[in-house]
Amino acid sequence: MKMKWKVVCLLAVFILDVLCVKAMYDSYSDTKNTLFLPADAGAEAKDKVREQFSGSNQIALTFDDGPHSVYTQRLLDGLRKRGVHATFFLLGENIDGKEAIVKQMQADGHLIGNHGYSHVQMSKESVKTACEQIEENNQKIEKITGVRPQYLRPPYGSWNVELECTTNMSVVLWDVDPLDWKSKNTKKIVRHIVKHVEPGDIILLHDVYSTSVEAALEVIDTLSKQGYTFVTVDELMID
């Protein structure tokens, strides 16, 4: 009889344990979907979150290396006409004299991110240099817009977790790269994007070439007809 109760007790403890662990796991699973990932979370982790959260047909156009006095302006006009918001990763050294364009970006509802100051490959620089690149540009943008950028696209997508100075920023890479800077061919760029894009994707372009701007606007017209909607990177990541 004594032995029987021992077995019953042990079984009860075991079942309680299992229930406890399951409850803990469930609550972890619930919260992990709403966690904000730090910059050093890694591309894979970010990809997973983005996949979970991306709407069925949302994609994000992103533009690096600007602002450009002619082409960025042309792009902003085209985006406004189409009611589309995009994400701009600005290069610090290109901002001087184009403050009005940056203000326009903000007023039009686009997301402004940081692309470093002078396009150095940050993972090959010292942490100090990389941090200076990021900080100098953050300050420059904040001075114009009053908003400190939260999103960072390191030039060449070159990054490593040791660059701790930016843990408050989210690193944004991309899914579709039409190599627009290389071909400078509008038709080729459009074809590549339309062929490879999938819901939830981030598309990489550069608003410092007329061909890229023309391609971006054509892509919007084409993919809108296919049911895609265009959002900023922050909307894609948390929506």
| Catalytic site positions | 64, 206
Binding segment for Zn ion (CB under 5 A), chosen from 59-67, 78-86, 168-176, 180-188, is: 59-67
Place of tokens 């408050």: 168
Closest to Zn ion by CB, 121 vs 210, is 121
**Which run of H or E residues covers position 155?**
none
Angstrom distance (rounded) from CA 75 to CA 208: 10
Closest to Zn ion by CB, 27 vs 160, is 160
Residue 114, strand partner residues: 90, 152
Closest to Zn ion by CB, 113 vs 200, is 113
- Structure tokens, 48: 């997973």
Number of residue whose CB is nearest Zn ion: 64
Closest to Zn ion by CB, 114 vs 170, is 114
Give the N- to C-terminal CA distance of the chain in Å, as an integer: 59
Alpha-helical (H) ranges within 108-227 are 127-145, 180-183, 186-196, 210-225
Q: Which of 49, 54, 59, 64 binds Zn ion (CB under 5 A)?
A: 64
Binding status of residue 113 toward Zn ion by CB under 5 A:
no
Q: Which of 61, 65, 94, 232 binds Zn ion (CB under 5 A)?
A: 65
Q: Which of 149, 155, 178, 200 binds Zn ion (CB under 5 A)?
A: 155
**Which run of H or E residues covers position 230?**
strand 229-230
Provide the binding-site residues for Zn ion, judged by CB under 5 A. 64-65, 155
